[in-house]
Amino acid sequence: MWFSNVDDEFNNPSDILGGLPGGPQFSNVTNVVDAATTEMEAEEIIMTGEFTLMDAMSAIEIMDPRLDSFLATYPGAETASFNVYSHLTPEEVCWIMDRTICAEMGWHEGRSLSQTIYTCLYVHEFASLDPVIWRMNQPLGHSQPAPLVTSVLRSWIVGLVKCCHMAWREFSQRHVFENEDVISDKAERSLMESTREDIALDYMGAAVAWLRRPEQSDLPWRQGLELRMVLRESLLQLFSLRPRTDPSLTMFLVKSCRELMASIRELPLPPTPPSGSSAFSSFDPSICRTLVNHTPLPVIALMDISDAWERFSELLDDLEKSVVLDGSSDLLEWKTTLTMLSRDTHRQRKAFVRSRTTTSFTVNGNRIFDSKPREWVALEVLRAVADIPIDTWISVVQRDWYGPLSPHAAYADRIWVSFQGIFSDWLINYYKSLSHNRYRQRRTMAKNTKSWRELFQFALRLSQQLIEFPEASLMARRVPAVVMHYRLGQMTEILLIGFEADLYSEDEMPFLRWYLARVLLPKHEEVLQWLIDEMQRTPSSSPIALNYLLTQKLVISVLKNLSEVVFRILAPLATEKTPKSILRRRLEWAFQPPLVVPDPVFDDIKSPSFDEYNRDRKISTEEQANIIYSLGLESLQLCRSAAAALGQLRTLEHDKSSTRLCVPAYDKFIEKLDAACFNLTATLEAPEPPAGSPPNGSDRSPSHLWFRVR
């Protein structure tokens, strides 16, 4: 470490080759620092009392490229050679189009406009592409046709920016989260908000018509230019359509975009222009330094065009799934489909599509599916899950409780209306959370667990008040079970997302596996079985609702068995020093005292118990000590039971269940569970490992993130 003992700035680079780094005016103070830090551990930090975690997170290191924001020129920067009035060859125009597609997909992947779309300088110089202005600045004698720039490239830029405006307008609905899913900061630049979509389509239509003229038949790269222009035209129409407005047209445009993309990819790639050409210099990756950004941004490199086409294909696939979902008003289909799509750990849906899905579900938070009132959600869920005919129930209550002329009838009605409104609000919140990114989904569900507990308590009170009326009691008993079904599903999802994100330490893992396998999933299985028994005792029960419950129970059974096996494998690796304080903070949403209600339909879920965990852990450890490394026949039987349940799930008739709209995602989900079951079975049947190695099958860990054995 060196410290300057003079005031003069050292500016002579040749002195660096001398003795001391920095020159002779620096003194070696390493011993001073070493003496002052002898009691510190490696990587330890001394912090003042006012230094907070927020201060640490917002710190910017010296030489961080973000410090260069708003710096137009910097050491090593190339001299800009961009001239908006330069003529371009057809292959250069194709190359610019492809680069803007790379930039557009980069924005949809979560980068900012300043790092992606705005790096194309033609976006900022659009006014100069006006045919009159452009020709006024042209010398005579150029062989390239002017419409290549003033019509084709100009209309492409219009379509590109308008597509971004349509996406930005969807993002402004606030259904996805700024800086998590998307960066919508426009850097005080226009996205052509005042230009109507039909005007932009007219521009592109004129460009396509020019390319199709007979005199342009010999134009090089004419087919590539035309296909790209038609693709941009179709994409703008696709982005301009509001959800649920015209599903058939939307599907047609998705199909057209996919076919056009395939045709473009069959053509040769346009060559990269020379570094000194106007086409190459039309992209400035450091443009973000000169724009007004609310957050300092580093310079990034755009993705390759092959990667951009893959991202574009994924966007079209996601849009197609969203349009299919638009055609359904079945809340169970929405729940199952969105859950299956969000559980795909290899690829999350694009933020634009997730926002569009939420927009399709709720309009300004007031109408559901464009036409249903908010209160309809609670009625529909109770009917779909538990076959509760709400209209019949309400009429029975008003007729039999205190009589229609009694003042208590109005009180009873107010109780139901209050429950219906609260239940609807939290169901809407839940369905919207299914389109969040996985980590936001976890935080939202964890935050809402207390409210779902209070809602369950409300449902129990409602059930108790109606239990004495024979016709209403049958229906009233099922209401708490439906609430508990949604509540337990979210609590399970919180833990599963944590496993996906590798959020938990190895010390925490055995306890969390125990809580999932011994508390959450058994309670959920109990609730589902109770509902199934109730439905089967009623001859007129809906077969669709019963089929949904049976499917859910099979899935929960598989998760429970596999979680139990993982817990038994990890139990011997756990120590007595379970980080209780950390786990209490981690599972703050779970450490709630169970509700006590006289004569409940079923008990509330228990809080995690460290005493029960330690007891079960010791039992599992002793079993493994007394049995060979196979970890016991019972664990193998659990895997076989899970495999049998998965076999039943494969035979599911999708047309008669809530998986109708997500068959590929559902089949993939079952395949991944089957792979986890197979790998766990292989781990259990493995021969005895070498001495000193932990019996965790780490070389054979399941592929599924929920059931990794560490």
The enclosing H or E element of 373 equals strand 372-373
Residue pLDDT, tens place only, 388-417: 877 766 666 666 555 555 555 566 667 788
Measured CA to CA, the distance from residue 319 to residue 329 in angstroms comes to 18
Q: Is 50 exposed, middle or buried (0-12, 13-18, 19+ CB in 10 A)?
A: exposed
C-alpha–C-alpha distance, residues 444 and 431, integer Å: 11
- At residue 71, the pLDDT reads 46
pLDDT of residue 699: 42
Burial 382-400 (b: 16+ CB within 10 A, else e): bbbbbbbebeebbebbbeb
The pLDDT, as a whole number, for residue 480 is 92
Coil, helix or strand at residue 323: helix
Q: 10 Å Cβ neighbour count for 256?
A: 18
Please state the domain extents for the chain: 2-58, 90-322, 328-707
If you write DSSP's letter for every residue of 39-51 in order, what string do you get? TPPTT-----TT-
Burial of 274 (0-12, 13-18, 19+ CB in 10 A): exposed
Please report the pLDDT score of residue 275 as a whole number: 85
Q: Which residues of the chain have pLDDT under 50?
A: 1-18, 70-79, 628-630, 687, 689-702
> From CA 86, how far away is CA 590, in angstroms rounded?
65
**Would you say the C-alpha torsion 406, 410, 413, 414 has a positive or negative sign?**
negative
pLDDT, position 701: 43
Which tokens go with 651? 């035979």
Alpha-carbon gap, residue 14 to 479, rounded angstroms: 82
Question: Please, which residues bridge with residue 147 across strands?
Answer: none
For residues 616 and 624, the answer to whether their CB atoms sit within 8 Å is no
